[in-house]
């Protein structure tokens, strides 16, 4: 390669480095404005330090005739800059498609920030992440708590292999396990916090069993976020946050129930949440009558109990007359 070409490459690298710094600062400002980390402002410095673009060397954006792949190795410098700026947009990024269907993504950073703030970590906490994805969330946790405190698990070797590579590129080496997240990772427990970054249909009883007393479990379920406190190895309980949350389903679980519920014009988003939470045990008419009769409850009025009998959802209180067994 000629000296002129090398100089041009170095100049392009310097330009992209400057773009990354500027774009990351802009993302942090956007998350500031969203109020996502109000519950724990300590995450601001973490998001400022961890480079998201290292975890999304390519991603897909929807175009008129399908999906366009943006990647850092594009020969077009304008496309490389577009990839880089897009990596710091406050939006979810589709990172893996299979037969046109989304199977993995990098979540919206402001939602990630809100979830991490709601996880309420303290120095010394040991954290289990369900759903390694790109490795970005594990890197944020590792930056805050230390590599040795973080374990992340995913079912597909291709995903865990790439997550390890991305994490190493960012200077982090938490424990990355290939396995079934519903079973947890008992050999690296007990955990003080469990966070899932994929949509669930229930809360596995294996998770509280691998936690310390008082541990917190935060997971997407039924288009919401459930926050559970672990009381002992067989009992965890808590309520949903008010925040809506939409994630790729946990691989190996049944299909998302949302797709099986008929949608009618005029259905309220919170009514859809109730239908999804109850897994179709209420038909749409019954759900609407209940929802209207109870004052159109928001997500925060619903909760989940996990015990020896499995997991069940409830409205207002565990002893409520309105309870539904989860799968």
Question: How distant, in Å, are the alpha carbons of 58, 124, 192 from that of 211?
Answer: 35, 14, 6
Distance (Å, whole) CA 167 – CA 147: 10
Backbone phi, then psi, for 159, in 5-degree steps? -75, -45
SS3 309: coil
The answer to whether 176 and 138 are in contact (CB under 8 A) is yes
| DSSP 8-state code for residue 254 | P
Helix axes 269-277, 284-293, angle to 10 degrees: 120
Integer Cα distance of 212 and 47 in angstroms: 28
Query: Distance between CA 165 and CA 270 in Å, rounded?
Result: 40
Alpha-carbon gap, residue 143 to 126, rounded angstroms: 13
Tokens encoding 25? 């600062």
Q: CA 289 to CA 164: how far, in whole Å?
A: 49
DSSP 94: E
- Give the 3-state secondary structure percentages of the chain, helix then strand then coil, rounded to 5: 40, 25, 35
Q: Tell me if 234 sits within 8 A of 209, measured CB to CB.
A: yes
Q: Among 2, 104, 107, 162, which one carries the catalytic annotation?
A: 104
Q: Are 56 and 84 in contact (CB under 8 A)?
A: no
Let me know if 34 is a catalytic residue. Answer: no
CB-based contact 256:159 (threshold 8 Å): no
CA distance readout (Å), 306 to 73, 238, 294: 47, 9, 24
User: In a 10 Å sphere around its CB, with 0-12 CB exposed, 13-18 middle and 19+ buried, how is residue 252 labelled?
Assistant: exposed
Catalytic positions, written as ranges? 104
């Amino acid at each position: 390669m000629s000296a002129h070409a090398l100089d041009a490459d170095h100049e392009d690298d310097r330009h992209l480095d400057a773009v990354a710094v500027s774009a990351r600062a802009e993302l942090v400002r956007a998350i500031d404005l969203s109020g996502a980390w109000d519950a724990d402002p300590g995450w601001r410095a973490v998001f400022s330090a961890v480079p998201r673009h290292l975890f999304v060397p390519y991603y897909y954006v929807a175009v008129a005739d399908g999906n366009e792949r943006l990647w850092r190795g594009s020969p077009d410098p304008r496309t490389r800059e577009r990839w880089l700026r897009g990596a710091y947009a406050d939006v979810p990024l589709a990172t893996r498609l299979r037969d046109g269907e989304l199977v993995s993504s990098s979540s919206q950073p402001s939602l990630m920030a809100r979830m991490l703030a709601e996880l309420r970590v303290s120095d010394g906490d040991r954290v289990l992440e369900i759903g390694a994805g790109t490795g970005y969330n594990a890197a944020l946790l590792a930056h805050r708590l230390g590599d040795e405190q973080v374990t992340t698990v995913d079912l597909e070797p291709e995903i865990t292999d790439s997550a390890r590579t991305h994490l190493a590129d960012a200077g982090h080496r938490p424990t990355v396990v290939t396995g079934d997240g519903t079973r947890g990772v008992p050999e690296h427990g007990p955990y003080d916090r469990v966070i899932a970054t994929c949509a669930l249909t229930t809360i596995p009883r294996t998770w509280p069993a691998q936690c310390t007393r008082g541990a917190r479990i935060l997971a997407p379920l039924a288009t919401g976020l459930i926050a559970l406190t672990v009381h002992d190895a067989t009992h965890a309980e808590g309520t949903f946050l008010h925040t809506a949350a939409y994630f790729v389903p946990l691989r190996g679980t049944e299909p998302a129930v949302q797709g099986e519920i008929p949608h009618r014009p005029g259905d309220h988003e919170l009514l859809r949440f109730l239908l999804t939470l109850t897994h179709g045990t209420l038909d749409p008419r019954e759900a609407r009558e209940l929802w209207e009769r109870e004052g159109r409850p928001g997500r925060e009025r619903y909760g989940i109990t996990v015990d020896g009998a499995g997991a069940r959802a409830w409205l207002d209180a565990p002893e409520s007359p309105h309870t539904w067994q989860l799968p």
